[in-house]
Amino acid sequence: MTEDQWRRTVAVNLDSVFGLVQASVTQMELQGPSPVGADDAKGHIVLISSTAGQRGEALHADYAVTKGALISLTKSLSSELAPRGFRVNCVAPGWVATEMSAAALDDPKLGPRIEAGIPVGRVATAREIAGPVLFLCTPLAGFISGEVLNVNGGAVLAG
């Protein structure tokens, strides 16, 4: 891997998240308390990691390292921000049918191997990732902070 690829991946997957979290926390603090009937959180932050961040990924160390760092960032931010009223969690998807993954999933040899490595036997839809993210931003998850929610059809267990 080139140094340029490494730096680009770190910038996109990690540096951008750092800046976004800084700006988001500042804005949420300015907005004040949650509306009546909402949970007691000032705000919710849900970072998106990956199964690669938990078990590594051959030939994609740059990606796996940044996704692992997001898991660590989730735990650090939760410890720092939970006392200030913020819930910080992480969703770790596996393979998801998106434009970005289409080439691999549509490959006649690789696609079936990917699906065979997922205990539920298929890749996720974007909606199946969005639902757990939304859940973590509701009062139903009001006592959850610093956690990694694996949304990968059991793939992280089979890896």
150 counts as catalytic: no
Distance separating alpha carbons of residues 74 and 145, to the nearest angstrom:
9
Cβ-based neighbours of 127, under 8 Å, separated by 6 or more: none
Residue 92, SS3?
Answer: strand
56, 113 in Cβ contact below 8 A? Answer: no
All residues at 6 or more sequence positions from 88 whose CB lies less than 8 Å from its CB, including other chains: 44, 45, 46, 47, 74, 77, 78, 81, 82, 145, 146
Of these residues, 63, 67, 70, 133, which one is catalytic? 63
Catalytic residues: 63
